[in-house]
Amino acid sequence: MLPCQRYLFDIPDSIAYLNCGYMSPLMKPALEAGTAGLARKAHPWELTAPEFFSGSEEFRAVAAQLLGSTADCVAIVSSAGYGVETAARNLPVKKGQTILVLDEQFPSNYYPWKRLAEHTGAALKIVPRPSDYDWTAAVLPALTSEVAIAALPHVQWTSGGQLDLARIGEECRKIGAALALDLTQSLGVLPFNVSDVQPDFAVAATYKWLLGPYTAGLLYVAPKWHKGIPLEEGWIQRANARDFSSLILYSDEYDSGARRFDMGERSNFALLPAAVRAMRQILEWGVEIISATSGAMNQRLAEAAAELGFSAPNEPLRAPHYLCLRKTTPIPPELTHVLAREKVYVSVRGTSLRVTPHVYNTEQDCERLIACLRRIA
């Protein structure tokens, strides 16, 4: 367990921010790195051509450590939706086949597949929410021979249920289905390694559990898709991009590895240094330790909330960092406003009250949430 790291963040004692699943606070060193990066645009004459590439390579290298991959397999994207759309553009599927998604899956990992199904005549197959919260047991029998693509998260975002991706990946390979993952609610806080899971594509926005800025994301692309079609045909994704004077000598060749899938203007001098700084900090703490730290707070919260009539799945069906509390009746969305008036911040997602602590939270933060729930819920 990690001692409280609040000193690295600008969170007043009066705030009980238990809402990393919504958006993490940017830590002070990441804010400094981003601010210094933004300031560089005030002096463009100091920005050299190689720096359009070096910062991006640093981002790729650090992201690769969190994924257990190589930098060559990492593309820089703006959002989870951008990464999912890239996967949908490249993974083959045809009429008579199906694309598998979960019930209540996050929209950015649903709409691209819905459109792909409509375009190709494939069917969208939705795994119903299991009453026992065991998403893995619900997904495995749904992986039948007609499934061409399984588009899944590591953690189902309205229940907190976690999927055994290594087991699911193995089953996908058995039936010849591609596996596309949205890791936005898990990467950086739930151990993950591409060599265990072997996904085709895996995306994560950085602004939640990667503690990064908004509008920056990483996309893992398995080597077998490195010759695929990117969403954008810009200059910087091309093999000749490093020579600024010769860009109009148009090249049919892309830059190597997953770099062809980068978003346009990916060399973001403000966002990338902030994201890199945050990811380095996560690596220094260690993902397993972050998971245990957040998980211990959630375990205590789950026990205290149970006495107030809330229920939640138990670990390991539930991801340690992601507690979705339910009652027999749906949680009214206004509850978050009532709690916010007490400076206690959580979310309502679907029918659950979602509590997502991180290493900046204290025992007092958790006690304040329980005290508020005792009074008002």
Ligand X SMILES: Cc1ncc(COP(=O)(O)O)c(C=O)c1O
Least distance CB 34 / ligand X (angstroms): 18
Q: What is the DSSP string of 12-70?
A: -TT-EE-BTTT-PPPPHHHHHHHHHHHHGGG-GGG--TTHHHHHHHHHHHHHHHHHTS-
Check: CB of residue 325 under 8 Å from CB of residue 302.
yes
User: Is the Cβ of residue 271 or residue 377 nearer to ligand X in the bound state?
Assistant: 271
Least distance CB 315 / ligand X (angstroms): 19
Least distance CB 66 / ligand X (angstroms): 16
* 244 class by beta-carbon count within 10 Å (0-12 exposed, 13-18 middle, 19+ buried): exposed
For residue 77, the one-letter residue type is V
User: Is the Cβ of residue 76 or residue 241 nearer to ligand X in the bound state?
Assistant: 76
Least distance CB 157 / ligand X (angstroms): 4
Least distance CB 327 / ligand X (angstroms): 22
Alpha-carbon gap, residue 166 to 100, rounded angstroms: 17
User: Is the Cβ of residue 181 or residue 241 nearer to ligand X in the bound state?
Assistant: 181
Scanning 74-151, the segments in alpha helix (DSSP H) are 80-90, 111-120, 135-139
Residue 278: phi, psi to the nearest 5?
-65, -45
User: Is the Cβ of residue 81 or residue 213 nearer to ligand X in the bound state?
Assistant: 81
Q: Supply angle C-alpha 102, 105, 109, rounded to 5.
A: 105
Task: Name the residue with tokens 């390579």.
Answer: 57
User: Is the Cβ of residue 24 or residue 109 nearer to ligand X in the bound state?
Assistant: 109
Least distance CB 24 / ligand X (angstroms): 12
- N- to C-terminal Cα separation, the chain: 30
User: Is the Cβ of residue 158 or residue 293 nearer to ligand X in the bound state?
Assistant: 158
Contact residues for ligand X, defined by CB under 6 A:
79-81, 106, 108-109, 153, 157, 182, 184-185, 205
